[in-house]
Amino acid sequence: MAYLTFDDGPSENTASILQILNQNGIKATFFLIGKSAEKNVDLVKREVNEGNVVGNHTYSHSISYNEGAENFLDDVQRCNQVLKSILGDQYSSKLMRFPGGYLGHGNRLVPYRDAVVKAGYTYVDWNDETGDAEGSNPAVPVLMNNLKVNTASASSDSVVVLMHNAGPKKNTVQALPEVI
């Protein structure tokens, strides 16, 4: 089982990603940045209306993990409020993803994890990726090679694939049909 996830949107790539997902009968989870969601309200609504899941990727994404767990949680809660304002009070997703992931930071993020869990959130990491966050816009063959290597080394029957939906990630869109 493979779960496709996209961080850092919505962006100018979102409509293309949604089109490709729809053409292939695939749903994904989009971890949204609140300030980007405010600028792309129609895309947020479209993601949900087309059957995808929307999760929280903080409001600002400018987290250094030096500001303390309480300030981090405030940023998460601010994103949650933005998503509720767009999707209505029935929006109740408590899925969130740490900018940069949780597992890659070791014990450093334990207080942050504890704060979001106490607030009712479930954090979702990944165990597979295309590596599209490395460099400015890695070529499609590089992304596909990364995916194949990471999928082969995954220690589970299911993979959570990390991709990015930020504006500069044009090759992610180009690779998506092959990823699927």
- CATH number of the structural domain spanning residue 158: 3.20.20.370
Structure-block tokens of residue 42: 């129609």
Residue 81 has pLDDT above 90, yes or no: yes
Residue whose token pair is 């129609």: 42
Which residue range forms the structural domain that includes residue 105? Answer: 2-179
Residues designated catalytic: 7, 164
Residues paired with 56 in a beta bridge: 32, 96
How many structural domains comprise the chain? Answer: 1
Residues paired with 29 in a beta bridge: 5, 53
Helix (H) or strand (E) holding 54: strand 53-56
Q: Give the mean model confidence (pLDDT) for residues 54-74.
A: 91
Residue 9 has pLDDT above 80, yes or no: yes
Please state, in angstroms and rounded to a whole number, the distance separating the CA atoms of residues 180 and 175: 9
Please state, in angstroms and rounded to a whole number, the distance separating the CA atoms of residues 130 and 37: 24
Q: Give the mean model confidence (pLDDT) for residues 102-126.
A: 90
